[in-house]
Structure 1
Amino acid sequence: MSELELIRVLIVDDQELMRSALRMMVESQSDLVLAGEAADGHEAVAMVRSHRIDVALMDIRMPKLDGIQATATITAEQPSCRVIVLTTFDLDDYAFSAIRAGASGFLLKDARSEEIVDAVRTVHAGHGVIAPSTTRRLIEHVAELPNADSGRAAEVRAALTPRELDTFLEIATGDTNREIAMRLHLSEATIKTHVGHVLTKLCLRDRVQAVVLAYESGLVGPSHR
């Protein structure tokens, strides 16, 4: 495997024990390379600014600058850098805020190493990852937000074709391409193409951001799932 194919990973956590565990996990994979470590958000932002980082594994609760603020800064300044939030809290407000700040993934720290490694590869490929136990709660949390943005809803409708809009609304269920394909009576490959068009046209990083937009715009409501 050439160097260009390697995924450069930044580990961000204020606990040395957690950094050590993640370091061993990254170094055990032939397609991952440890690009650096940071003990707080300020160090993480500085690392991303000075090094090419593909994926950051980000703790939320850290001193000086927390993971939410660090995620917002990193994704705004370096859109190509994906952030996976790792937390001990199962979708608390901090985790949801990090996703809104631009994180492409959310996993619990007790996830198996195989899950975390797969998540790194998945977000690097341009997809989102949410811990299975929290997908429904994420959707419910977003669905309860007040003040839907009708202007944003109009922009979404104008940007998408009817079939792409249908796909966008289906993405908001949190289901897989295969499940969506079955409901819409289309091939999985066709749905994958539609999903790609939706994300591109709406300038969304991944499906996680699509779910948030669908509910915040009011295009779907609490009963959608």
Structure 2
Amino acid sequence: MAAPCVTIVSADTLLAAALSTLLCEKGVFDVSAAKSFEDVTAGNPDRPSAVVYDLSGAGPLDPGPIAAFTSGGRKAPVIVLTTSESFDVVPALLDAGVRGIVGRDADADEFVTAVTEVAGGRIFVSRGMMDLLVAHVARCPVDRAAAHLQDAESLAPRERDIVRLLSTGMTNREIAAALHVSEGTVKTHLGRVMVKWSVRDRLQVVLRAIGRLHVTPADPGGGAEGSEAPR
């Protein structure tokens, strides 16, 4: 696959320069910078691309500019950098069409992985933001009995094992190692789960599974890679 074209959208020129340098050091990325979405130029339709939008110094969340960009016929998916520690930003950003969310605790490798995954057509939510999501759903006072029974019985034992591990923040590679199967087998089982549950991606699998399959939220101090979806 061709190297992705990446545009950093940030009012902070120093941050934009630092992120550009990081991406270039980590791989063969074609990186440019823009002050706003209006300044983002059309990329090559034959190459994967992504836009990294810096929300770290933007104050209260305003998903309007993101939604306008993602719904305006542009092909480039958006990855957001945010310093927010509130769960509320996650559904707001996803509703605005964001395909990647990277929190303030992400390291360089996780950021580069987010760009690569999203440019490749997948969704990525960093470990820190996934922890917020898991904690929020775990606290929600909902009636789970009927949904738990229906969801649990719809999955084969191996599918349930994979969903549980996925919901604790593991990547496909980590799940495969834990269950002593190939990554291809993990992807096949996840595909079947998505069909059975009528969901589009790994993130929606996690949202549906948390609290319904007695999943234990991921340890915030764990050492696994970011919780990306899908892969």
- For the aligned pair, the TM-score class normalised by the smaller chain equals 0.5 to 0.7
1:60 and 1:67 in contact (8 A); partners too: no
2:106 and 2:127 in contact (8 A); partners too: no
CA distance in 1, matches of 2:176, 2:74: 30
Give aligned-pair identity as a percent: 27
Q: How does 1:195-210 map to 2 (within 5 A)?
A: 195-199=190-194, 202-205=198-201, 207-210=202-205
1:164 and 1:197 in contact (8 A); partners too: no
Q: How does 1:19-58 map to 2 (within 5 A)?
A: 19-28=16-25, 30-34=27-31, 36-39=33-36, 43=37, 47=40, 50-51=42-43, 54-58=49-53
Runs of 4+ in 1 over 6 A off after TM superposition: 152-158
Partner of 2:9: 12
Partner of 1:192: 187
> What number of residue pairs does the alignment pair up?
213
Deviations along 1:200-220, one digit per CA (max 9) or x if unpaired, are 774524x334323444xx644
2:131 and 2:217 in contact (8 A); partners too: no
1:11 and 1:36 in contact (8 A); partners too: yes
1:164 and 1:195 in contact (8 A); partners too: no
1:13 and 1:59 in contact (8 A); partners too: yes
Q: Which runs of 5+ in 1 are unaligned?
A: none
Q: Which runs of 5+ in 2 are unaligned?
A: 219-231
Query: Could you tell me which amino acid in structure 2 is paired with residue 141 of structure 1?
Result: H
**Superposition RMSD on alpha carbons, in Å?**
4.4
Query: Could you tell me which amino acid in structure 1 is paired with residue 30 of structure 2?
Result: V
1:27 and 1:34 in contact (8 A); partners too: yes
Deviations along 1:179-207, one digit per CA (max 9) or x if unpaired, are 544666644431122224445774524x3
2:78 and 2:100 in contact (8 A); partners too: yes
Question: How far is 1:17 from its partner?
Answer: 2.2
Matched, 1:123 2:118: yes
